[in-house]
Amino acid sequence: MGLFDYAMDMGKKLFDSEDEGGEKIQQHIEKDNPGISGLLVKVKDGVASLFGKSDDPVAVEKAILMAGNVVGVKEVKTEIEAPPLADDVEYYVIVRGDTLSGIAKRFYGKASLYPKIFEANREVIKDPDLIYPGQKIRIPKQAG
């Protein structure tokens, strides 16, 4: 599963029309800005395009996830100037019945390592007990 595609009808509802979508998603990302300067977001036909600059590829991943986990977004394109995205991470779409501890057990072999997943997704997951089906999250490959 890739980073850039999303379920358009799942996620956090931030806007009613695409006319306001870019501004609302931009405000959403800037609220917990993972490290993007000069952020600009545009939405057209369900595609959120992100512009700006960052020195941290993880910040770019987080901004993409924050934009993609919004109702009305089916795809995210990034024009953010940054180093290449990391290859030491996987992406997972939460399904009904999932818990972070269950996901940690599946990926790391230990449910007790769920804080690693939570910390990797702080901008996307505000409460480790409140995740929802369709939400896409980062799974760092190294559990250590």
pLDDT of residue 86: 74
* pLDDT tens readout for residues 105-126: 999 999 999 999 999 999 999 9
pLDDT of residue 143: 52
* pLDDT tens readout for residues 80-93: 999 988 778 899 99
CA distance 108 to 28: 31
Decide yes or no: CATH 3.30.70.1350 for domain 18-81: yes
CATH number listed for the domain at residues 89-140: 3.10.350.10
pLDDT of residue 1: 46
Residue whose C-alpha is closest to residue 69's, from 129, 2, 10, 138: 10
- This prediction's pTM: 0.90
Residue whose C-alpha is closest to residue 76's, from 62, 89, 86, 58: 62
The domains of the chain are located at 18-81, 89-140
* pLDDT tens readout for residues 36-47: 999 999 999 999
